[in-house]
Amino acid sequence: MSYKRSREIFEAELTAQQSPFVFFGTPLPPLDPEVRDDGSYVPVWKQEVRDERGRKRFHGAFTGGFSAGYFNTVGSKEGWTPSTFVSSRSNRRKDDAKATQLRPEDFMDEEDLVEAEEARKIQTTAAFAGLGSTEDDVARTNSVMGLFRPEGDTMGARLLRKMGWRDGQGIGPKVRRKARLDMESNASGKPDTFLFAPENVPMVGFVRKTDQKGLGFSGESRLGPARLSTKTSIAANSDEEEDDDDIAGGLGRPKFSLAVGRKKGKDKGQGGIGTGILNDNGSDDEDPYEIGPRISYNRTIGGDKKKKKTTTAINPNLKAKPIFMPKKSTLGKVGLGVRKCHDGRLPLEGFVFGREDDPLTSAVSLQVKHPPPKIPPEWKSSKTPKSQGESKDYVSTADAAKASTLDPRARAALLGEKQLPGKSVFDFMSAEARQRLVAVTGKADLPAAKGEIPAGYARTEEERQHELLSRVPKLDKETSVAALSRGTGGGAPYADNDEKRSRYRAYLEHQAGFRPALPPKPAKMSNEDWLREFQEFFNCARIFKPMTGFMASRFTTASSTSKLGSGSTAGDGDATLLAQPPSKPKDPAEEAAKLGMYGPLTRSVVDFYPTRLLCKRFNVKPPAHVQPDDGAASGSAAKKASASQFGASMQDYFATEFGSGAEASDAGGMETAASGETGAPKPAPEQMVDSTTNEALEGARAGEEVFKAIFGDSDDEDD
């Protein structure tokens, strides 16, 4: 008989059983009563798989795919956390607020959480925490400073330990006493005595009053420290030593309110009204509400009760954690105040430290032990300083000069000198000189130049003119005549400037004696410029020298042709040129260019060797001395033939200038001579190698005289 269960029954069975379709036996209860596991239809949007931490396990296409990440690591600590797809079109940044609310804990796994929890424990630096402020330094030096030492292994403790001291012992010679053994103390009448290390001297501690309670009140269970503060002897408190947690400063450890804070909080719970079974603590570790397995929770931040209990009993000195204290601060604090006894204590009240003087200083100061010998009253040193009075009066010259109030005028008056006119140098300076000074010094605020002339030096106009004319360079007559004759031709200098050329001609005529006076100075030209121009004319005329002199200079030595090119045309008949030899040989072409004499003087011809490709690209036949076409070889190898070329061009020039006649033929002859002379240094291009003949071998043999002249006469030697 089959029947259809109602929906309610089915749902009830579903929650009660593992499988509602079991017909035989007792169905198992469901694993998770919250989860339906009947295979019933769940819409896709409801289908979610979550892991043990409630994170979504499988993800849709927009959140990373069905098995997202490497082996479905999305959402785990190795993987990335998927974010749901948000259409930026409709609701942009909808989840931003949510995203910002993520806490760091959301990204932590269990270990991280534990670590974070541990990191949250607050640790005070125990007893030293209260010393940060400086407001009551004075009080502290009096009360607190002497009461503690820097904890941990100080250098002193290490030294003591090396000397046999052990932690917890006092310092000093050993004390003979009986052993304090509680069990035996009453039994035997006269116990044996032993040598013991002295007891550790307790520090007297003063608890600073920080609360508002009345004096002496320290709460129900806090009577110990108050009692201790007045205690002076602890010889009989051996029982208290064992549990010295209650005794603040029991072994010289001051108890600060912060340090006992933990204890205090616990104690508060213990004492008081209505202490029941839950409040009674026979043991701290018992949890009255504890059910089930013992799981230890830290219910208080920073509480670690067990450790404290165990550490205190064994070594009370090291009960607190060693804390690093910077040396500077501790030293500063310790050295702040008071002197202490050698055991670290302050002197007893009412007592003052005695002063033991340093033996050396005391010896010096009191002169007790080795007083210097006494000088006899009648003794006199043989080395008396000479003339003490003089040295006192001595003043150096510089000091005297400094101290003197005289100015040059006053000094001159003292010496009886004649007063100079009250004028400065600038009054006598010309404007040009002042300009030069301004240019050199760079100071524009120099006084104005007045150009005055002292009374004795004033000259008349004629004198001045004469002086000016005397500075005009003198040219000898034949040179100027020759230069004049050259000027008639087309190649005269200053061809581009007619006025200047006329001035030049006038100068030459004056120097040659044809013209009695020099041409008048142009109006806009200053004296200096005028003279400079004459100097220029002088140089120009010197270069345009008479032909004879020039040619004569060419034939003095064989090397004169090359010298000609370099400008030092040293000739015998050339005294004017030799008179002022230029310090640095100047290029005559440059000189000529400076004078505006462009033409043959400024032109020189140098051989250069075009490459074959260059000639080809220019569509020209390569010259005979074409460079072999090995890439971009530079033309710097071009041998300069400028000297000979220049010389030749110069001769051409003069030959044309002087026209016909004997001189022309002379020049022509000279030209041939010169070319023959300079034929040797001429570059090789013309000497094309003829492979068919070897002139060296096949040429006519030189005459016998030549060989004789060179190698000597062997016959003579034989004779």
Partner 1 sequence: MPPPFSSFPSTPIAQLLGSNGPIHAVTYSSPPSPYILTGSSDRLIRLYNPTPSPPITHHSNTITTTHPPSQTSPIPPGRLITTFPPLHSHPILSLAISPSNATFLSSGGDRTLFLWDVATSLSTRRFHGHAGRVNAVAFAGGGGDALALSGGLDGTVRIWDLRSASTKAVQVLTEARDAVTSVVAPSGGWEVVAGSVDGRVRGYDVRMGRCVVDVVGASVTSLCLDGEGGGETVLVGGLDSKVRMMDRRDGRCLRVYEGEGWRNEGVRVQSCFGGAGRWVVAGDEFPVDEEGGEGRVWAWDVMTGRVVARLGVPWGPGRRMGVGADGREKGRRNVVSCVAWKDGGRGDQFCVGGRRGWSRFLGGDRREARQDD
Residues that bind partner 1 (CB under 8 A): 495-497, 587, 589-590, 592-594, 596, 598-600, 602-611, 613-615, 617-621, 623-627, 631-636, 638, 642, 685
- By beta-carbon proximity to partner 1, the closer residue of 148 and 609 is 609
- By beta-carbon proximity to partner 1, the closer residue of 122 and 632 is 632
The three state secondary structure string of 462-497 is HHHHHHHHHCCCCCCHHHHHHHHHHHHCCCCCCCCC
472 with 541: CB under 8 angstroms?
A: no
CB of 704 vs partner 1, minimal distance in Å: 42
Radius of gyration of the chain from Cα atoms?
62
How many residues in total does the chain contain?
Answer: 719
CB of 628 vs partner 1, minimal distance in Å: 12
CB of 493 vs partner 1, minimal distance in Å: 11
- By beta-carbon proximity to partner 1, the closer residue of 494 and 534 is 494
Contacts 24+ apart (CB under 8 A), 215-223: 219/267, 219/271, 220/271, 220/272, 221/267, 221/270, 221/271, 222/264, 222/267
CB of 688 vs partner 1, minimal distance in Å: 14
Picking from 17, 259, 4, 224, the residue whose alpha carbon sits closest to that of residue 128 is: 259
- By beta-carbon proximity to partner 1, the closer residue of 250 and 610 is 610
Give the contacts of 487 (CB within 8 A, at least 6 positions apart).
493, 501, 504, 505, 508, 544
- By beta-carbon proximity to partner 1, the closer residue of 148 and 646 is 646
CB of 583 vs partner 1, minimal distance in Å: 20
- By beta-carbon proximity to partner 1, the closer residue of 429 and 595 is 595
CB of 426 vs partner 1, minimal distance in Å: 31
Q: Report the distance separating Cα 187 and Cα 506, nearest Å.
A: 152
CB of 644 vs partner 1, minimal distance in Å: 13
CB of 641 vs partner 1, minimal distance in Å: 9
Tokens 């051996």 locate to 238
Picking from 83, 78, 75, 113, the residue whose alpha carbon sits closest to that of residue 99 is: 83
CA 324 to chain centre: 36
Q: Report the distance separating Cα 351 and Cα 346, nearest Å.
A: 10
Residue 591 neighbours by CB distance under 10 Å: 18
- By beta-carbon proximity to partner 1, the closer residue of 128 and 504 is 504
CB of 623 vs partner 1, minimal distance in Å: 4
Largest CA distance in the chain: 169
Q: Report the distance separating Cα 168 and Cα 295, nearest Å.
A: 37
Q: Report the distance separating Cα 529 and Cα 205, nearest Å.
A: 106
Task: Assign 178 to helix, strand or coil.
Answer: strand
Encode 410-428: b = buried (16+ Cβ within 10 Å), e = exposed: eeeeeeeeeeeeeeeebeb
- By beta-carbon proximity to partner 1, the closer residue of 178 and 625 is 625
Tokens 């204290």 locate to 325
- By beta-carbon proximity to partner 1, the closer residue of 107 and 608 is 608
- By beta-carbon proximity to partner 1, the closer residue of 575 and 605 is 605
In Å, how far are 493, 506, 507 from 503, measured between CA atoms? 11, 5, 6
- What angle in degrees, to the nearest 10, is found between the helix axes of 477-488 and 498-512? 140
- What angle in degrees, to the nearest 10, is found between the helix axes of 547-554 and 662-677? 20
CB of 562 vs partner 1, minimal distance in Å: 17
CB of 544 vs partner 1, minimal distance in Å: 15
Output the DSSP codes for 509-555. HHHHTSSSSPPPPPTT--HHHHHHHHHHHHHHHHHS--HHHHHHHHT
Output the DSSP codes for 387-420. -HHHHHH---HHHHHHH----HHHHHHHHTPPPP
DSSP state of 207: P
Encode 235-264: b = buried (16+ Cβ within 10 Å), e = exposed: eeeeeebeebbbbbbbbbbbbbebbbebee
CB of 643 vs partner 1, minimal distance in Å: 13
- By beta-carbon proximity to partner 1, the closer residue of 178 and 603 is 603
CB of 617 vs partner 1, minimal distance in Å: 4
- By beta-carbon proximity to partner 1, the closer residue of 225 and 610 is 610
Residue 508 neighbours by CB distance under 10 Å: 26
The single-letter code of the amino acid at 198 is P
- By beta-carbon proximity to partner 1, the closer residue of 513 and 685 is 685
Task: Assign 87 to helix, strand or coil.
Answer: coil
- By beta-carbon proximity to partner 1, the closer residue of 20 and 493 is 493
- By beta-carbon proximity to partner 1, the closer residue of 562 and 576 is 562
Picking from 123, 94, 96, 117, the residue whose alpha carbon sits closest to that of residue 105 is: 117
CB of 528 vs partner 1, minimal distance in Å: 19
Output the DSSP codes for 332-361. HHHHTS----TTSPPPPTT--------HHH
CB of 642 vs partner 1, minimal distance in Å: 7
CB of 602 vs partner 1, minimal distance in Å: 4
- By beta-carbon proximity to partner 1, the closer residue of 170 and 596 is 596
- By beta-carbon proximity to partner 1, the closer residue of 266 and 625 is 625
CB of 675 vs partner 1, minimal distance in Å: 17
Tokens 């006192």 locate to 392
Q: Report the distance separating Cα 462 and Cα 456, nearest Å.
A: 17
